[in-house]
Structure 1
């Protein structure tokens, strides 16, 4: 499409977000590069999902800046997000994808081809004409991933993509995330699941009480956490903080 340059890196400088008189994010500075899979970890209430929404542009920071390498154009965005509870349109699985592609400005001749490929990639071809809202929770999450993948995003934000899924469905989502990464899309993900983080992460952003305490390679984080809070989190002491 002739985009000038790539979106990444994404630079956050002093990002603060407050709501209802409460500071949810405080002074976060980080640089998110292309390539490595970035997982945002932290205990409940750390601000993980809010940080992801600020990065994606759904929320504006109260203070500080969020800056892509090049501007992301409204209407034909080069980044996508899949939520913990994906929104399904009252349409078939197929139409959920083709309608999203239409809104994104994809030419009609390309929509069906992309939808077919995306459903095949997530193992839902047989359910293409099923109503999206009657699919199982795991199938809906796979459809949400297919819908996002069909957009061919440069960056894909995933908010707790395996929350509430059984082990089989979780394994399917693991596989899909890996395939999207292998296809060249930058993955940025939040999760409470340390097993998923170890499986998917190349780097970790560790949040606690709205502050970024660590941005470090995943292997180092899991073997030699630099902060006492991160060590406590890995030991389970902060999981329900």
Structure 2
């Protein structure tokens, strides 16, 4: 039996005015995958994440989701936004907006905070937490929604090495739990550790979509090979 992808972008193009941010992109995201989007700054990684979520309109092409039921999708941004409320309230608000019954919101929020090691911080103002704690809190907020797909935009870009390891460990655990992960990253070591598939973008086009081991060992299009060697500029 062939399983339909959770998300299927078909010839997707995204424009911002005259600028083409994504051009004729095809991307399938199937249950259980761990996909990393890589490429220089401005290559279209963040735009592709938002298009996969359905947050951006497509100028051309289609976004198709599973016929059985639209997948539950949660997204964590590079700099998570926290309201000037307690950490627990920030988690509960996400559940409220998702339509979770009031009787369940508190227990699910506390369970999520415990899952990321922040149960003791539940009543602290979320905005006074460290960058690493806020990123873990954003992961807790996403996990509490019980997503089928977790979208991550440079989830450890501004964190110190200890916080990076903590966040990577959580992402790995969530994926092991069965959550499908689609993430962008500049950290190629992180890509090796977390991804099973790598999608390389340049100027809004997908130039390679291969298993992770092949990306680092196999022959690639010239642009992707130069990027891997560090011979392409980041901007």
TM over 0.5: yes
Quote how far apart the aligned CAs of 1:149 are: 0.2
Gaps of 5+ in 1: 1-5
CA distance in 2, matches of 1:190, 1:171: 16
In 2, distance between residues paired with 1:155 and 1:98? 20
2:8 equivalent to 1:11: yes
Secondary structure of residue in 2 paired with 1:12 = strand
Shift of 1:8: 3.5
**1:156 positional shift:** 0.6
TM-score (normalizing by structure 1): 0.92
Give the distance between the partners of 1:198 and 1:186, measured in 2 at CA.
17
- Tell me, in whole angstroms, the C-alpha distance in 2 between the residues paired with 1:72 and 1:163: 33
RMSD of Structure 2 on Structure 1 (CA): 1.6
TM-superposed CA distance for 1:107, in Å, is 1.6
Q: CA shift at 1:71, angstroms?
A: 7.8
Distance across 2 between alignment mates of 1:111 and 1:25 = 38
Deviations 1:195-226 (A, max 9, x none): 11111100011101111011110110111142
Distance in 2, Cα, partners of 1:225 & 1:83: 32
Q: Given that residues 7 and 72 in structure 1 are in contact (C-alpha distance below 8 angstroms), is that contact kept between their aligned partners in structure 2?
A: no
The within-5 A match list for 1:18-97 is 18-70=15-67, 78-97=72-91
Rounded Cα–Cα distance in structure 1 between residues aligned with 2:200 and 2:68 = 27
> Which of 206, 221, 225 is matched with 1:212 structurally?
206
Question: Where do 5+ consecutive residues of structure 2 fail to align?
Answer: none
Separation (CA, whole Å) in 2 of partners of 1:169 and 1:115: 21
Q: Decide whether the 8 Å contact of 1:82 with 1:157 is kept in 2.
A: yes
Cα 1:149/1:239, change in 2 over 3 Å: farther
Q: 2:98 aligns with which of 81, 84, 104?
A: 104
Distance 1:139 1:29, change over 3 A: same
Aligned residue number for residue 190 of structure 2: 196
C-alpha separation in 2, matches of 1:100 and 1:30: 28
SS class of match (1:204): strand
